[in-house]
């Protein structure tokens, strides 16, 4: 990670000919034209965004591109997970071809994870791949989905089942846009920030415990937290770009979290992804303690911090009725981290000491969960 100025950080992702920079700082949307034109030759761009983000930032981005001689068109989709469909993939591909986006032109995803995943997929397949820039507008997408090249759409059979690894050419994480997020949305993204400390950066977790108020308030601590998170993700992605092993660590808290999201019918009034991950991370630490892999004190420490920032930390914090343990186990069985009937979980030996366990007995999980319901 390098400091470009006192308020801007650059994280380089060294993936050979797919290497790219993640720039983190305030006001990057207004400077997007300059950042893109120094890296990408083509003079045309197509921006894909959604109905929530377009009124806030589309005009500034179009103006910024025009100021640097980039001719941009835009396409606005409905907001929400349902947008990641075949139908919308086709629409985006149509728009890119109609706009005559060539291999050296740029497709820009301006939005959260849904827009980034769908747009990155389209950019990877139109003309066998055109240039692709991520401008993530949620904390969750700045620290997770915009980095690492996972792109795709949902299928009838499940989420994210159709897609390609397509690394972006540039990520511009404009920290100023986070000021328009709701507290709840910011907190949900923060769960993924804390995750990086819990995976393998214990000092970062301690720093978060001490500095979370400054991170929530904005300013240098927020930029630093996002930059460290992007660096942590980049390190994992560089070690295992296509998730043959170590990259699975990024799923800490996600197997339980996904099952809880499914159990609420993906009703965002009850639970959003980052909240599911927060509860899932506490469960993963508790479960590790139950298996005598870690101290129960670590689980309590994780719970204390996430509760202090205002995240839910137990299944009982989810409003409304939850289904029985069999339904949760069925959802865990549907999760993609199941191989040959064995459950794969990210477990831990303590704060910052997570590991991939691919032989977890499902009976242990079931009896653990039935006590937590
Ligand atoms: N969000 C998990 C990954 O990028 O691998």
**91 catalytic per annotation:** no
Q: Which of 113, 143, 144 to mutate to test ligand 1, by most ligand atoms within 8 A of the CB atom?
A: 144
Q: Is the pLDDT of residue 286 over 90?
A: yes
CA of 316 from ligand 1 middle (Å) equals 27
pTM of the model: 0.96
Q: Is the pLDDT of residue 254 over 70?
A: yes
Could you say which of 8, 26, 35, 192 is catalytic? 192
Pairing of strands 44-50, 342-348: unpaired
Spatial CB neighbours of 318, under 8 Å, sequence gap ≥ 6 = 260, 264, 270, 271, 279, 312
**285 catalytic per annotation:** no
pLDDT of residue 340: 60
pLDDT of residue 339: 58
- Rounded to an integer, the average pLDDT of 246-257 is 96
Instruction: Tell me the CA end-to-end span of the chain in Å, nearest whole number.
Output: 42
**84 catalytic per annotation:** no
pLDDT of residue 139: 98
Question: Which token pair is 166?
Answer: 């397509």
CA of 242 from ligand 1 middle (Å) equals 10
pLDDT of residue 8: 93
What's the rounded Cα separation, in Å, for the pair 359 and 195? 22
Q: What pLDDT digit, counting tens, does each position of 136-157 carry?
A: 999 999 999 999 999 999 998 8
Question: Which token pair is 366?
Answer: 């079931």
Q: What pLDDT digit, counting tens, does each position of 172-227 carry?
A: 999 999 999 999 999 999 999 999 999 999 999 999 999 999 999 998 999 999 99
Domains annotated on the chain, with CATH:
2-180 (3.40.50.1970), 183-372 (1.20.1090.10)
Confidence of residue 159 (pLDDT cuts 50, 70, 90): confident
Q: What pLDDT digit, counting tens, does each position of 30-64 carry?
A: 999 999 999 999 999 999 999 999 999 999 999 99
């Amino acid at each position: 990670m390098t400091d470009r100025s006192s308020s801007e950080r650059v994280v380089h992702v060294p993936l050979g000919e797919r290497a790219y920079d993640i720039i983190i700082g305030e006001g990057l949307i207004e400077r997007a034209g300059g950042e893109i034109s120094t890296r990408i030759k083509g003079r045309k761009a197509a921006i894909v965004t959604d109905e929530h983000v377009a009124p806030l930032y589309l005009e500034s981005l179009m103006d910024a591109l025009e100021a640097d001689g980039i001719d941009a068109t835009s396409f606005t989709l409905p907001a929400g997970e349902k947008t990641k469909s075949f139908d919308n993939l086709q629409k985006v591909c149509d728009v890119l071809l109609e706009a005559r986006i060539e291999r050296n032109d740029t497709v820009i995803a301006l939005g959260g994870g849904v827009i980034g995943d769908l747009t990155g997929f389209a950019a990877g397949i139109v003309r066998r791949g055109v240039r692709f820039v991520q401008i993530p507008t949620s904390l969750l997408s700045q620290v997770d989905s915009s980095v690492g090249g996972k792109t795709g759409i949902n299928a009838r059979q499940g989420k994210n089942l159709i897609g390609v690894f397509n690394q972006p050419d540039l990520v511009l994480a404009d920290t100023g846009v986070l000021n328009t997020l709701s507290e709840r949305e910011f907190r949900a993204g923060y769960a993924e920030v804390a995750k990086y400390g819990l995976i393998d950066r214990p000092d970062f977790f301690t720093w978060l415990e001490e500095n979370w108020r400054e991170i929530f308030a904005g300013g240098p601590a927020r930029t630093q937290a996002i930059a460290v998170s992007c660096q942590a993700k980049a390190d994992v992605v560089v070690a295992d770009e296509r998730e043959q092993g170590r990259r699975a660590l990024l799923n800490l808290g996600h197997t339980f979290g996904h099952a809880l999201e499914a159990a609420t019918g993906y009703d965002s009034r009850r639970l959003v992804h980052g909240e599911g991950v927060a509860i899932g991370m506490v469960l993963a630490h508790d479960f590790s303690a139950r298996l005598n892999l870690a101290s129960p004190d670590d689980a309590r420490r994780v719970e204390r911090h996430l509760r202090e920032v205002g995240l839910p930390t137990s299944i009982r914090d989810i409003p409304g009725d939850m289904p029985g343990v069999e339904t949760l186990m069925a959802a865990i069985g549907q999760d993609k981290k199941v191989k040959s009937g064995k459950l794969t979980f990210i477990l831990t030996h303590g704060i910052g000491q997570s590991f991939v366990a691919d032989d977890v007995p499902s009976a242990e999980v079931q009896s653990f969960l039935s006590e937590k319901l």
